[in-house]
Chains A and B, each alone.
Chain A
C-alpha cells in the first residue's frame, strides 16, 4: 500500500522568510500525482500545488514551489516570502494514476511569526 510521510509535525518561520516542508512517499508505481493541500482553521482543504510524476520540471504557483525528487520519492514544498495568511496545516498527498483516492500524510502545522 502507498504511504505518505511528513516528518515535521510543526514548523515556524518569520514573516517574509522562506520555509520548506518535507514529504516522502512509498510507491512501486511509475505514474502518479502528488499534491500539497492547505487546511486553515476553517477546516476547508485548499489545493496549493500539484505535480505529475512524469513531468521532470518542478511545479510552481506564485510563492509556492516544489522540489520533486522521483528517485528519492521526495516531494517538498517551499513557501517564499511567507505571509501571515500562510499559517495553516499543510498536507502532502499521493494518488495513483489509475486510482481515484488520495492518500494523505499526517500534516505539518505551519506558524508564521510576525
Chain B
C-alpha cells in the first residue's frame, strides 16, 4: 500500500522567506511526527500529533516553526523567515497507535541560501 508521502522532495529558498513542507501519512494512522535531520546527524524530534491535536510540540526550535494537521490526515510544517541553520532534511512519520513502529517518508531536503 501507499507509504508516507512528503512534498516537495527538495526545496531551495532564500534566507528570510517562508516555506511550507507537506506530509501525507498512511491512511488510518492517527499519530504523525516531524523530525529534523541535519547533515550527518541523528534525528531531532520536532512535534507529534495525535489526530489533529499536538500533545507534544517540545522540539520546535523557535516560534518561527509551526505545524498543523487537518482532518486527522495531512500535516504542514511551516518555517517563517528561514535562516541558514534551518537547512536540513525534514522527515515525517506516522503510526497507527501507541507501541507501534513509526513509518517514515523520504523527507524534504531544505536548503536556505
**A binding-site residues for B, Cβ under 8 Å:** 33, 35, 37, 42-47, 50, 91, 97-107
**B binding-site residues for A, Cβ under 8 Å:** 31, 33, 35, 41-43, 45, 48, 50, 55-56, 59, 89, 91, 93, 95, 98-99, 101-107, 109
Q: A45-B91, A104-B43 are in contact. List 18 more A-B contacts (CB 8 A).
A: A33-B99, A37-B104, A42-B106, A43-B91, A43-B106, A44-B106, A45-B43, A45-B104, A91-B43, A99-B56, A100-B48, A100-B56, A101-B48, A102-B102, A103-B45, A104-B42, A106-B41, A107-B41
Can you name 20 A-B pairs with beta carbons within 8 Å?
A35-B101, A37-B104, A43-B106, A43-B107, A44-B107, A45-B102, A46-B104, A50-B101, A91-B42, A99-B56, A100-B55, A100-B98, A101-B45, A101-B56, A101-B59, A102-B43, A103-B45, A104-B35, A106-B41, A106-B42
Contact between A107 and B105, CB atoms less than 8 A apart: no
| A101/B33 contact (C-beta < 8 A), A43-B107, A106-B42 known | yes
Most chain A CB atoms below 10 A, which of B31, B41, B42, B93: B42
Contacts of A105 in B (CB 8 A): 42
Please name the residue on chain B nearest to A9 by beta carbon: B40
Contacts of A44 in B (CB 8 A): 104-107
Contacts of A104 in B (CB 8 A): 35, 42-43
Contacts of A102 in B (CB 8 A): 33, 43, 45, 102
Contact between B101 and A100, CB atoms less than 8 A apart: no
Contacts of A37 in B (CB 8 A): 104
- B90 vs chain A, min Cβ distance (A): 11
